[in-house]
Chains A and B, each alone.
Chain A
Amino acid sequence: AQSVTQLGSHVSVSEGALVLLRCNYSSSVPPYLFWYVQYPNQGLQLLLKYTSAATLVKGINGFEAEFKKSETSFHLTKPSAHMSDAAEYFCAVSGGSGNTGKLIFGQGTTLQVKP
Protein backbone atom coordinates (compact mmCIF):
# COMPACT_ATOMS: atom_id res chain seq x y z
CA ALA A 1 0.00 0.00 0.00
CA GLN A 2 1.13 3.52 -0.66
CA SER A 3 1.70 5.98 2.14
CA VAL A 4 3.17 9.40 2.80
CA THR A 5 5.01 10.62 5.87
CA GLN A 6 5.63 14.28 6.49
CA LEU A 7 8.33 14.84 9.09
CA GLY A 8 7.46 17.69 11.39
CA SER A 9 3.89 18.83 11.89
CA HIS A 10 5.07 22.40 12.50
CA VAL A 11 7.99 24.24 10.95
CA SER A 12 8.93 27.78 11.89
CA VAL A 13 11.32 29.94 9.88
CA SER A 14 12.26 33.59 9.79
CA GLU A 15 11.32 35.71 6.82
CA GLY A 16 14.04 35.38 4.20
CA ALA A 17 15.29 32.05 5.51
CA LEU A 18 15.33 28.73 3.68
CA VAL A 19 12.15 26.69 3.80
CA LEU A 20 12.51 22.89 3.93
CA LEU A 21 9.45 20.68 4.33
CA ARG A 22 10.13 16.97 4.39
CA CYS A 23 8.15 14.24 2.71
CA ASN A 24 8.88 10.53 2.42
CA TYR A 25 6.71 8.14 0.51
CA SER A 26 6.17 4.42 0.27
CA SER A 27 5.23 2.93 -3.06
CA SER A 28 5.89 -0.37 -4.78
CA VAL A 29 5.68 1.25 -8.19
CA PRO A 30 7.00 4.51 -9.58
CA PRO A 31 4.84 7.13 -7.95
CA TYR A 32 3.35 10.42 -8.97
CA LEU A 33 4.03 12.93 -6.21
CA PHE A 34 2.39 16.23 -5.40
CA TRP A 35 2.71 19.15 -3.02
CA TYR A 36 -0.41 21.13 -2.20
CA VAL A 37 -0.80 24.26 -0.07
CA GLN A 38 -3.88 25.10 1.98
CA TYR A 39 -4.56 28.57 3.33
CA PRO A 40 -7.04 28.98 6.20
CA ASN A 41 -10.61 28.21 5.23
CA GLN A 42 -9.65 27.45 1.65
CA GLY A 43 -9.26 24.40 -0.52
CA LEU A 44 -5.98 22.88 -1.62
CA GLN A 45 -3.89 24.53 -4.31
CA LEU A 46 -1.32 22.61 -6.31
CA LEU A 47 2.25 23.83 -5.83
CA LEU A 48 4.00 21.27 -8.02
CA LYS A 49 3.93 17.66 -9.17
CA TYR A 50 6.39 14.97 -10.18
CA THR A 51 5.34 12.60 -12.95
CA SER A 52 8.59 10.78 -13.82
CA ALA A 53 10.11 13.49 -15.95
CA ALA A 54 12.82 15.72 -14.43
CA THR A 55 13.66 14.84 -10.84
CA LEU A 56 13.89 18.52 -9.87
CA VAL A 57 10.45 20.03 -10.15
CA LYS A 58 9.78 23.73 -10.08
CA GLY A 59 6.42 25.00 -8.92
CA ILE A 60 4.60 28.20 -8.22
CA ASN A 61 5.61 30.91 -5.77
CA GLY A 62 9.30 29.97 -5.94
CA PHE A 63 8.91 26.48 -4.52
CA GLU A 64 10.68 23.43 -5.85
CA ALA A 65 11.02 19.78 -4.89
CA GLU A 66 13.49 17.04 -5.74
CA PHE A 67 12.50 13.44 -6.28
CA LYS A 68 15.09 11.08 -4.79
CA LYS A 69 14.23 7.48 -5.48
CA SER A 70 17.06 6.06 -3.36
CA GLU A 71 15.79 7.98 -0.35
CA THR A 72 12.07 7.69 -1.26
CA SER A 73 11.85 11.40 -0.58
CA PHE A 74 10.23 14.41 -2.18
CA HIS A 75 11.19 17.36 0.02
CA LEU A 76 9.83 20.83 -0.69
CA THR A 77 12.14 23.83 -0.58
CA LYS A 78 12.11 27.57 -1.11
CA PRO A 79 15.29 29.65 -0.85
CA SER A 80 13.72 32.63 0.90
CA ALA A 81 10.54 32.53 2.95
CA HIS A 82 7.93 35.22 2.65
CA MET A 83 5.23 36.06 5.16
CA SER A 84 2.61 35.00 2.63
CA ASP A 85 4.03 31.45 2.64
CA ALA A 86 2.51 30.78 6.05
CA ALA A 87 0.02 27.97 5.44
CA GLU A 88 -0.53 24.22 5.69
CA TYR A 89 1.42 22.10 3.22
CA PHE A 90 0.47 18.59 2.15
CA CYS A 91 2.51 16.02 0.31
CA ALA A 92 0.53 13.41 -1.64
CA VAL A 93 1.14 10.32 -3.75
CA SER A 94 -0.99 8.95 -6.55
CA GLY A 95 -0.91 6.27 -9.15
CA GLY A 96 0.44 2.77 -9.12
CA SER A 97 -1.30 -0.52 -8.99
CA GLY A 98 -4.72 -0.37 -7.39
CA ASN A 99 -4.52 3.33 -6.69
CA THR A 100 -5.33 4.95 -9.98
CA GLY A 101 -6.44 8.51 -9.52
CA LYS A 102 -6.62 8.45 -5.73
CA LEU A 103 -4.48 10.90 -3.79
CA ILE A 104 -3.02 9.71 -0.51
CA PHE A 105 -2.02 12.65 1.65
CA GLY A 106 0.42 13.06 4.46
CA GLN A 107 -0.65 14.58 7.76
CA GLY A 108 0.41 18.04 6.71
CA THR A 109 3.03 20.52 7.89
CA THR A 110 2.12 23.94 9.20
CA LEU A 111 4.63 26.54 8.10
CA GLN A 112 5.02 29.59 10.32
CA VAL A 113 7.01 32.54 9.02
CA LYS A 114 8.30 34.97 11.61
CA PRO A 115 9.08 38.60 10.75
Chain B
Amino acid sequence: EAGVVQSPRYKIIEKKQPVAFWCNPISGHNTLYWYRQNLGQGPELLIRYENEEAVDDSQLPKDRFSAERLKGVDSTLKIQPAELGDSAVYLCASSAAQVAGTQYFGPGTRLLVL
Protein backbone atom coordinates (compact mmCIF):
# COMPACT_ATOMS: atom_id res chain seq x y z
CA GLU B 1 0.00 0.00 0.00
CA ALA B 2 1.43 3.37 -0.99
CA GLY B 3 1.89 5.88 1.79
CA VAL B 4 1.10 9.57 1.85
CA VAL B 5 2.86 11.31 -1.02
CA GLN B 6 4.00 14.90 -0.86
CA SER B 7 5.75 17.15 -3.34
CA PRO B 8 8.01 18.90 -3.62
CA ARG B 9 10.30 17.61 -0.88
CA TYR B 10 12.26 20.84 -0.71
CA LYS B 11 11.49 24.37 -1.78
CA ILE B 12 13.55 27.54 -1.55
CA ILE B 13 11.88 30.83 -2.41
CA GLU B 14 12.35 34.50 -1.75
CA LYS B 15 9.97 36.32 0.55
CA LYS B 16 6.80 37.67 -1.01
CA GLN B 17 6.81 34.87 -3.58
CA PRO B 18 3.96 32.34 -3.74
CA VAL B 19 4.46 28.65 -3.06
CA ALA B 20 2.27 25.57 -3.22
CA PHE B 21 2.50 22.13 -1.69
CA TRP B 22 0.72 19.04 -2.91
CA CYS B 23 -0.44 15.98 -1.00
CA ASN B 24 -1.91 12.67 -2.10
CA PRO B 25 -3.30 10.71 0.88
CA ILE B 26 -3.52 6.99 1.33
CA SER B 27 -6.25 5.53 -0.85
CA GLY B 28 -9.57 5.37 0.97
CA HIS B 29 -8.62 7.79 3.73
CA ASN B 30 -11.34 10.39 4.05
CA THR B 31 -9.59 12.62 6.56
CA LEU B 32 -6.63 14.73 5.51
CA TYR B 33 -4.51 17.01 7.68
CA TRP B 34 -1.92 19.69 7.04
CA TYR B 35 0.53 20.35 9.86
CA ARG B 36 3.39 22.81 10.14
CA GLN B 37 6.52 21.84 12.03
CA ASN B 38 8.89 24.60 13.05
CA LEU B 39 12.48 23.75 13.79
CA GLY B 40 12.86 21.95 17.10
CA GLN B 41 9.13 21.73 17.74
CA GLY B 42 6.28 19.32 17.33
CA PRO B 43 3.87 19.63 14.41
CA GLU B 44 0.88 21.95 14.74
CA LEU B 45 -2.36 21.50 12.85
CA LEU B 46 -3.16 24.02 10.14
CA ILE B 47 -6.27 22.49 8.62
CA ARG B 48 -8.27 19.27 8.65
CA TYR B 49 -10.52 17.97 5.88
CA GLU B 50 -13.30 15.43 6.02
CA ASN B 51 -13.68 14.52 2.36
CA GLU B 52 -13.97 17.90 0.57
CA GLU B 53 -14.99 19.88 3.64
CA ALA B 54 -12.56 21.82 5.78
CA VAL B 55 -13.86 21.01 9.27
CA ASP B 56 -11.10 22.65 11.30
CA ASP B 57 -9.15 25.59 9.86
CA SER B 58 -8.98 27.66 13.01
CA GLN B 59 -5.16 27.66 13.00
CA LEU B 60 -4.76 28.50 9.33
CA PRO B 61 -3.50 32.09 8.76
CA LYS B 62 -6.16 32.95 6.27
CA ASP B 63 -4.65 36.22 5.14
CA ARG B 64 -1.89 34.39 3.29
CA PHE B 65 -2.62 30.67 3.48
CA SER B 66 -5.22 28.79 1.50
CA ALA B 67 -5.98 25.14 0.98
CA GLU B 68 -8.24 23.03 -1.13
CA ARG B 69 -9.17 19.39 -1.48
CA LEU B 70 -11.05 18.99 -4.70
CA LYS B 71 -12.95 15.72 -5.14
CA GLY B 72 -11.98 14.70 -1.64
CA VAL B 73 -8.66 13.15 -2.57
CA ASP B 74 -5.57 15.25 -3.33
CA SER B 75 -4.98 18.49 -1.51
CA THR B 76 -2.97 21.63 -2.14
CA LEU B 77 -1.74 24.11 0.44
CA LYS B 78 -0.73 27.54 -0.80
CA ILE B 79 1.08 30.48 0.73
CA GLN B 80 0.90 33.86 -0.94
CA PRO B 81 2.93 35.88 -0.24
CA ALA B 82 5.47 33.91 1.76
CA GLU B 83 7.20 35.49 4.74
CA LEU B 84 10.50 34.62 6.42
CA GLY B 85 8.61 33.12 9.35
CA ASP B 86 6.93 30.58 7.07
CA SER B 87 10.17 28.60 6.85
CA ALA B 88 9.23 25.20 8.26
CA VAL B 89 8.38 21.65 7.31
CA TYR B 90 4.83 21.20 6.04
CA LEU B 91 3.48 17.76 6.77
CA CYS B 92 0.44 16.10 5.30
CA ALA B 93 -1.28 13.23 7.06
CA SER B 94 -4.34 11.10 6.42
CA SER B 95 -6.51 8.77 8.44
CA ALA B 96 -9.42 6.43 7.95
CA ALA B 97 -11.37 7.41 11.06
CA GLN B 98 -11.63 10.33 13.42
CA VAL B 99 -10.40 10.51 17.01
CA ALA B 100 -8.58 7.23 17.48
CA GLY B 101 -7.82 6.74 13.83
CA THR B 102 -4.11 6.52 13.27
CA GLN B 103 -2.72 9.40 11.26
CA TYR B 104 -0.21 8.43 8.63
CA PHE B 105 2.28 11.11 7.71
CA GLY B 106 4.00 11.93 4.48
CA PRO B 107 7.71 12.86 4.31
CA GLY B 108 6.93 16.57 4.38
CA THR B 109 7.96 19.58 2.33
CA ARG B 110 10.84 21.57 3.76
CA LEU B 111 10.33 25.25 2.92
CA LEU B 112 13.03 27.87 3.20
CA VAL B 113 12.05 31.49 2.66
CA LEU B 114 14.97 33.84 2.01
Contacts and interface: CB of A to CB of B under 8 A. Distances in A.
A94 B100 contact: yes
Nearest to A45: B105
A100 interface: yes
Contacts, number: 65
B72 to A, nearest CB: 16
Nearest to B95: A101
A82 interface: no
Interface residues of B, number: 28
Interface string B79-109: 0000000000001010100111111111110
Contact of B99 (A36, A42, A46, A94): A94
A95 B43 CA distance: 16
A102 B42 CA distance: 13
Nearest to B56: A102
Interface of A: 4, 9, 32, 34, 36, 41-46, 49, 51, 90, 92, 94-95, 100-103, 105-108
Contacts of B98: 100-101
B43 A103 contact: yes
Contacts of B56: 101-102
A90 B56 CA distance: 22
B54 to A, nearest CB: 12
Contacts of B53: none
Given A100-B99, A101-B55, A101-B95, 5 more contacts: A44-B91, A46-B104, A103-B43, A107-B40, A108-B41
A41 B31 CA distance: 24
